[in-house]
Amino acid sequence: MITRKLQKLQSAMAEHEGWTRSGAGALDFSSPTMAYRNHNPGNLRSSPFMLGQSNGFAVFIDDQIGTFAHLFDLWSKCTGKTTTGLGPKSTLADLIHVYAPTSENNTGAYILAVEKYTGIPRATPLSYFLQP
């Protein structure tokens, strides 16, 4: 079940991933971000719902499908239905370490951004996001 808590997490991660028309600001339409161009708010690399890939990232038919795919990916990780080793007892910090590894991201900054956006501490178990 997609809960409001999971939607809030998805929104926080999408914002950090550049889910905006432009890195310069929402009203600057000159250079949309890759997440925006690909209808991929989570910058997912793969999804059962994608049309294909561009520069190693999934491309979705529209924003609604891309958002659903991101929510589905997060729900799958929170419930332990992936090969990532994450599950309901994993923490928000564990999720972000898997989702945005330090080899490709500033994971510490990512965790701080999500904590700030959601008000949810990094030690919160993923089962929290499954509760209504």
Q: pLDDT at position 20, please?
A: 73
| Residue 32 pLDDT | 81
| Residue 3, Ramachandran bin (φ over 0: left; ψ between -120 and 50: alpha; else beta) | beta
Tell how many helices (H) and how many strands (E) occur in the chain: 5, 2
Q: What's the predicted TM-score (pTM) here?
A: 0.92
Please give the average pLDDT of every successive group of 10 residues along the chain, which has 132 residues.
96 92 53 88 97 97 97 98 97 98 96 97 98 95
pLDDT of residue 21: 60
pLDDT at 35: 93
